[in-house]
Amino acid sequence: MSVLHGKKVLLGVTAGIAAYKTASLVRLFIKSGAEVKVVMTPASKDFITPLTLSTLSKNPVHSTFYDQEDENELWNNHVELGLWADIMLIAPATANTLSKMTNGTCDNLLLATYLSAKCPVYFAPAMDLDMYKHPSTKVSLESLQNFGNIMIPATSGELASGLVGEGRMAEPEDIVDFIEKDILSKLPLKGKKLLLTAGPTYEAIDPVRFIGNHSSGKMGFEIAKAAANLGAEVFLVTGPSHQKVNHSLIHRIDVTSAKDMYEACHQYYNDMDIAICSAAVADYRPKNVADQKIKKKDAALTIELEPTKDILKSLGETKQHQFVVGFALETNDEKANAKKKLEAKNLDAIVLNSLRDKGAGFAGDTNKITIIDADFNEKSFELKSKTEVAKDIINEIVAKIS
């Protein structure tokens, strides 16, 4: 999945011949799962029609502060557009627009939107070779980068004038690739490795029966996605779960029993920077597993259980540099019990959910958590979807380890 998936991309198109390539650019952003809006300078409409770009982006395209053809003359709010965007890209960026951006001129909707944007702004210059080399253009390119904007350099090749040299806008595929790589390189968990347990465990009674629990694994899988979206390489050790995951940074390791989970975790643990145990691991397992299916008899059946190893505790006890996080599902004296677990298992933080809170727990799609750190600082969150809860957990960890 592209790092652009779910991102709001605002494309600013200015009046260069390379504007015809913005149709492909919009297609590529849409294909990567981004939401796209386009603003154009009035003159750029001579090079590509707003209809083409609105059809491809599935959003209206604006080039003026209000739409004259619209009888209600609705104001196109540049501030709103600027704040809407997660990323703004100006491509092609002509010498004229670059110069105006440098000086803070805002005589069109695109420039006013640029000045209002708080997100990272990328620009892909496109002009003839002598314009590109001109000292005033060089000043613009340098100043804009000093302001924090990110340049996607022009390439060399045949230009619209027929001359050959530097000034060609980077190809749409290369622009998207550049932005993806730039975002990835700046993610807060880039280069970090996370060990994560999820789901239930099944403890065999005989070849066809087991002791298990109702954990869906959803919370753990959402944590895996939230961490991977921030650049972490995730080793997801999961018990039997119907959850699916498709992310190049997530390695799924399927296990069945608490023993399998323990062994898989310790296989990876030394290399990890963070460990989060969200699995609902069975605390007990049958002492003897029957080789054959146990036959029904009239007498009562007693199965002797023995404790499983506490995976989280073993990670806490043997940690060197890792930041270790556990979960506590409690029904009473919640915070006191969670703090006891935090200390007993030598954790850096614990995520508490109380079964007394409606919507919390391991079977549904929502959760309500309190995160307690090793100094017993507490942070409580509202009832949220597990997707949002996962982001809160990962953001708290990022804040603690950075």
Q: How far is the CB of 389 from ligand CTP (least distance, A)?
A: 15
Q: Is 326 one of the binding residues for ligand CTP (CB under 6 A)?
A: yes
Q: Is 255 one of the binding residues for ligand CTP (CB under 6 A)?
A: no
What is the sign, positive or negative, of the torsion defined by CA atoms of 127, 128, 130, 133?
A: positive
The only residue of 90, 223, 279, 398 in contact with ligand CTP, by rule CB under 6 A = 279
* Residue nearer to ligand CTP on the CB measure, 131 or 329: 329
Nearest alpha-carbon partner for 222 in 230, 212, 213: 230
**Residue whose entry in the numeric block shows the structure tokens 């019990």:** 337
Q: Is 329 one of the binding residues for ligand CTP (CB under 6 A)?
A: yes
The only residue of 255, 327, 339, 360 in contact with ligand CTP, by rule CB under 6 A = 327
**Active-site residue, from 59, 96, 213, 346:** 213
Q: Is 339 one of the binding residues for ligand CTP (CB under 6 A)?
A: no
Q: Is 277 one of the binding residues for ligand CTP (CB under 6 A)?
A: yes
Judge residue 177's burial from the number of C-beta atoms within 10 Å of its C-beta, 0-12 exposed, 13-18 middle, 19 or more buried.
middle
Q: Is 328 one of the binding residues for ligand CTP (CB under 6 A)?
A: yes
The only residue of 32, 94, 108, 308 in contact with ligand CTP, by rule CB under 6 A = 308
What x/- string results for residues 340 through 379 when contact with ligand CTP is judged by CB under 6 A? -x--------------------------------------
Number of residues binding to ligand CTP, judged by CB under 6 A: 16
Residue 353 annotated as catalytic: no
The only residue of 258, 324, 342, 390 in contact with ligand CTP, by rule CB under 6 A = 258
Q: What is the distance between the terminal CA atoms of the chain, rounded to a whole angstrom?
A: 26
Q: What tokens were used for 343?
A: 């200390």
Q: HSE of 290 in the Cβ direction (CA atoms, 13 Å)?
A: 14
Q: What tokens were used for 310?
A: 């506490």
> What are the C-alpha distances in Å from 180 to residues 135, 138, 148?
30, 26, 17
Nearest alpha-carbon partner for 14 in 104, 97, 82, 75: 97
Integer Cα distance of 12 and 122 in angstroms = 10
Which residues, numbered 195-224, are part of the site for ligand CTP (CB under 6 A)?
Answer: 197
Instruction: Say whether the peptide bond before residue 307 is cis (omega within 30 degrees of 0).
Output: no
Please choose, out of 243-251, 275-283, 297-305, 386-394, the segment that lies near ligand CTP by the rule CB under 6 A: 275-283
Q: Is 283 one of the binding residues for ligand CTP (CB under 6 A)?
A: yes
Sheet holding 378-380, edge to edge: 250-254, 233-238, 193-198, 274-277, 323-330, 349-354, 370-373, 378-380
Q: Is 253 one of the binding residues for ligand CTP (CB under 6 A)?
A: no
Q: How far is the CB of 216 from ligand CTP (least distance, A)?
A: 14
Question: What are the residues binding ligand CTP (CB under 6 A)?
Answer: 197, 258, 277-279, 281, 283, 308, 310-312, 326-329, 341
**Residues catalogued as catalytic:** 213
